[in-house]
Amino acid sequence: MTGALRPAGEAPAEVEDVQASAEVVSSTVIHKGRIWDLASDEVDLGDGVSVVREYVQHPGAVAVIALDDAERVLLLQQYRHPVRSLLWEPPAGLLDVAGEDLRDAAARELAEEADLRAERWDVLVDYYTTPGGSDEPIRVFLARGLSPVPHDERHDREDEERDMASAWVPLDDAVSAVLAGRVHNPSAVVGILAAAAARARGWETLRSVGADWVR
């Protein structure tokens, strides 16, 4: 959906984010990066008000909450240099293959990072990572019916991914870790809590893999 900027104080009929684009007076790429760029836009907010907003232009990403038959979620420990931390995360990756289907991208990441395949895929939740400073959207899938990738088909992991630790954590324990402040990766926080909420509703909130995408 698209729409004009909502007047202040007008109450929505229901809580739902609406795409609405203010006029961009000018746009400059401040820095061209290896994966994402830093942009600066002058934005006309109407009534003679304009502002300059700098933000990261990002290709988007997918993440996978892999849930086994014992309702344990797979988490991988990966070093994240900007926050100088080893974080527990679900398998995830950039949408950096032109034209790749979102579910296929998620399946690729699950295979490459965790040596797993899944029979059933559903959309669990969508979110923006940092809407005040980045246009990055992430779709989090729920993957079930897991099986190992044959050894001769496994991906050779490199860099930070080459020796990632892994853990199968009962979903309830993963929720407790999030709420206790022991897990900080956004896809882990969002995905774990969304999985627990969806399970509590009998999985009726799950969407098909072809559900509308913010991009």
| Catalytic pick among 10, 153, 161, 204 | 161
Amino acid sitting at position 43: V
Cα 195 to Cα 206: distance, rounded to the nearest angstrom: 9
Amino acid sitting at position 194: A
Question: Cα angle at 145 between 195 and 88, to 5 degrees?
Answer: 45
Cα 12 to Cα 64: distance, rounded to the nearest angstrom: 32
- The residues near 117 (Cβ < 8 Å, ≥ 6 apart) are 107, 110, 111, 146, 147, 148, 149
Look up tokens 């990055």; give the residue. Answer: 136
Q: What torsion, rounded to 10 degrees, do the Cα atoms 110, 138, 99, 101 define?
A: 50
161 is catalytic: yes
Pairing of strands 116-128, 137-148: antiparallel
Catalytic residues: 161
